[in-house]
Amino acid sequence: MESRTIYPTLEEMQRRCPRLGSRVNFEYCRAYGQEQQPCFKVLDCWWEVFDVVAYFRQCLSPEAFERICQAKPPDKVASLVDLIRQARERSGKE
């Protein structure tokens, strides 16, 4: 019998985002922001839901995984500007 790790689908996993104040799915956190990089809080937010560290170790290079582990929060102004831009994109306004 083949042994492999099975993860719930990205669409199925949801939780409240402490930054946005609303529910988001894991896909949003996995590819956040203009650069489509994992959110700096992804490991802190998802560790109770599933083994997010193992997931990223499988999906990323060792260097990319280390960047997630060392990620620091963006400055508040840059973060707000990015959130406003994302809200505009979602609503179709430019």
One pLDDT digit (tens) per residue for the chain, 94 residues: 455 556 567 667 889 998 888 898 898 888 876 678 888 899 999 988 888 899 999 988 999 899 888 887 777 888 788 888 888 888 875 5
Question: Closest by alpha carbon to 5, among 47, 57, 41?
Answer: 57
In total, how many domains does the chain have?
1
Q: Answer whether residue 2 is part of any domain.
A: no
pLDDT recorded at residue 54: 93
Q: Answer whether residue 1 is part of any domain.
A: no
Q: Answer whether residue 28 is part of any domain.
A: yes
Report how far residue 32's alpha carbon sits from residue 27's, in angstroms, rounded to the nearest whole number: 8
